[in-house]
Copies of this chain bind each other. A is one copy, B any other.
């Protein structure tokens, strides 16, 4: 697998040693065409399925957060009960399907740029995020 070399490089860039747990994590996270949204729990399950050995929760938390800090993952907050992470780190917005609890990326072309006319004195805008909650018609709003 030439892919693994990329992952090892990536880990090095981030300042993490390429251990087998971390390389496996990278495979799950970054070895895909499409953007990938997940919770820590999802991730632990997926890694466990892909690996004969066990991976500890703590390792997953630590490594995910290390990636987040360095900008390889983005956290998306939908409600107070769930942290979603996103492998698409460009500035973009989301749909959240309340029926399936699925997160869907918006393309840049899906939403016109937001025009903010107010600013807080002495403060800089760090990010602008739009979350569009959707549900099937018969569903009541949360």
Q: With A80-B80, A126-B135, A141-B127 in contact, is A104–B120 under 8 Å at CB?
A: yes
Question: With contacts A104-B120, A110-B116, A128-B131 known, what are 12 further pairs, Cβ within 8 A?
Answer: A95-B120, A97-B120, A111-B115, A114-B114, A122-B136, A123-B137, A125-B133, A125-B134, A126-B135, A127-B131, A127-B132, A131-B131
Copies in the complex: 2
CA distance A115 to B106 in the complex (A): 12
Alpha-carbon separation in the docked complex, A123 to B129 (Å): 21
Q: For the complex, would chain A's binding face be called helix, strand, loop or mixed by DSSP majority? A: strand
Interface size on A, as a range, is: 35 or more
Residues of A participating in the B interface, judged by any CB pair closer than 8 Å: 75, 77-80, 82-83, 95, 97-99, 104, 106-107, 109-112, 114-120, 122-137, 139, 141-142
